[in-house]
Structure 1
Amino acid sequence: MLREVTATRYVTPLREGGSLPGIVEGDDLGTYVMKFTGAGQGRKTLVAEVICGELGRRLGLRVPELVRMQLDPVIGLGEPDEEVQDLLKASGGLNLGMDFLPGSIGFDPLAFEVSAKEAGQVVWFDALINNVDRSWRNPNLLLWHQQLWLIDHGATMIWHHSWKSAETAAAKPYDASDHVLSSFAPDLDAAAAELAPRVTEELLTEVTALVPDEWLAGEPGFDTPDELRAAYVRALLARTDIRDRIVLGERSADGPSKVPAWLASELPQRGRK
């Protein structure tokens, strides 16, 4: 189970995020980026954050610590912004916190170098989880202590928005042409050889078990949270051979984002054209 923390103070909203995450302080004296169950993107965003974030960590990628975060809506009574007040009121109970990395800066591919090995691992991982939001428009990477950290995995595993077509979606290629690390000659063969054998049913079962039952309950077509967890395991296992379906073509320059239209409106808008 993820470590549990109680939010003690709401500090400030992060308005570049489509779901209006906020910086909060916890009863462990830590500072976190909190993502809310009451946000418009819904609990599936938090499910994706847990499964993909914890899977990435177990594969050796740097992901800030994720915690279960309890929120008492009374914490927002002094917040002057009505939008934030409404969000906090709608999010009482269990939410998700991500360790805040003080002093980190957003990754800029024109200012920082990434090795072919690390670029390959990140691109392969994003292909595995079908991450549609790590493009040059919105990298979702941070530089902290001169190391690359992966954040914001809410726009992954988009098949879980329509389980009826999940098997078909899992079989599709992954277009990495606009991936923020595509220009660093990612060594995808080495990444696949190292990481794919580690993505086992046992590992995926361990990771999906970290998702709270209450975020999984009530999904149409599934009688129990464990049935839904097993569906996530099957979908991800089916993509472990994704190496041969990763497309690295010409970047779309100033063209439109390749994010599906139905999802684009829900994603953060920073850097998009």
Structure 2
Amino acid sequence: MSIQIREVQVMRYITPLREGGSLPAIAAADDDFNYVVKFKGAGHGPKGLISEFLGCEIARKLGLRVPEVVFAELDEAFGRTEGDEEIQDLLKWSQGVNIGLHFLSGAINFDPVVNDVDAETASKIVWLDAFITNIDRTHRNTNMLMWHKELWLIDHGASFYFHHTWKDIEKAAQTPFAMIKDHVLLRSASELEAIEKSSKTLITPEFLTELIELIPESWLQWEGFLETPEEFKAGYLQFLTTRLAHSEIFTKTAIHARENII
């Protein structure tokens, strides 16, 4: 397999990142690196981790910069000495496999007023977010960082919102994604048609099949749903391959939205 995701053991909880409702944290792992760990016991649960995992690795395949993703294991004893009861409960509910993203120490938030993004990169990011239905890359919350003078993407947990209902996947995959009109980089995304063509040579059904197969089974056991992990994987593959096959729908929507603001 060409996609390699390392596994690490979380050794020490350092500090919570109290942005949003999911309470990610900076934690140290047994490989001597620090990670931003997102926990399956928080917010949208394992669906948020799946969104993060798929979003990061699809972005990486497109040549965009994202932190390394690892599967971060929490054992039963982890967090027992944490003084904050809310965090202690979160860690207890998150035993097993979580997701970690390499901590970009010293990174600063992307500022669209200060930081320029070239048309190709902006178009790639807009196309990516339309493809994975990421509603959370706006002026209010860019979810991008500047690190060593380079642009890095973070936080794809609000993507794939179809999986919260898991209904009519074929129809959900062919939505135009009108919310792209609020994308922070839309004005700069002048190469969307070209990026659509080049992206479809990279994001192949074979790549998506391999990627989805890596989703941990423990992330695919959802309360209130009767589907098996294999059925959920098949659903994600159906959504992404259908969306890829009909990419002209969301690409044209993004192009028209851009024409309305320039």
TM-score, normalised to structure 2, is 0.90
Q: Secondary structure, in 3 states, of the residue corresponding to 2:48?
A: helix
Q: Which residue of structure 1 aligns with residue 220 of structure 2?
A: 216
| Equivalent residue letter for 1:3 | R
User: Comparing 185-194 with 101-110, which one deviates more in the overlay?
Assistant: 185-194
Contact 2:79-2:92 within 8 A present in 1 as well: yes
| Equivalent runs, 1:134-145 vs 2, <5 Å | 134-145=137-148
Which stretches in structure 1 are left out of the alignment for 5+ residues? Answer: 252-273
* 1:93 pairs with one of 91, 96, 99: 96
* 2:47 pairs with one of 19, 44, 49: 44
Pairwise CA RMSD of aligned residues? Answer: 1.7
Q: Secondary structure, in 3 states, of the residue corresponding to 2:13?
A: strand
Q: Are 1:204 and 2:208 an aligned pair?
A: yes
**CA deviations over 1:38-85 (Å, ceiling 9, x no partner):** 113211111111112111111211111111111135332332222111
**Percentage identity across aligned positions?**
48
Contact 2:62-2:124 within 8 A present in 1 as well: no
| Equivalent residue letter for 1:12 | T
Q: Secondary structure, in 3 states, of the residue corresponding to 2:78?
A: helix
* 1:233 pairs with one of 229, 234, 237: 237
Contact 1:199-1:237 within 8 A present in 2 as well: no
User: Comparing 226-235 with 239-248, which one deviates more in the overlay?
Assistant: 239-248
How far residue 221 of structure 1 moved from its aligned partner, in angstroms, is: 4.9
Which stretches in structure 2 are left out of the alignment for 5+ residues? Answer: none
| Equivalent runs, 1:55-204 vs 2, <5 Å | 55-175=58-178, 176-204=180-208
Q: Secondary structure, in 3 states, of the residue corresponding to 2:181?
A: coil
Q: Which residue of structure 2 aligns with residue 255 of structure 1?
A: none
Contact 1:13-1:23 within 8 A present in 2 as well: yes
Contact 2:124-2:192 within 8 A present in 1 as well: yes
Cα distance change, pair 230–109 in 1 and its aligned pair in 2 (3 A) = same
Q: Secondary structure, in 3 states, of the residue corresponding to 2:208?
A: helix
Contact 2:173-2:239 within 8 A present in 1 as well: yes
Contact 1:172-1:245 within 8 A present in 2 as well: no
Paired residues, number? 250
Aligned counterparts of 1:25 and 1:186: Cα–Cα separation in 2: 41
Structure having the larger proportion of residues in helix: 2
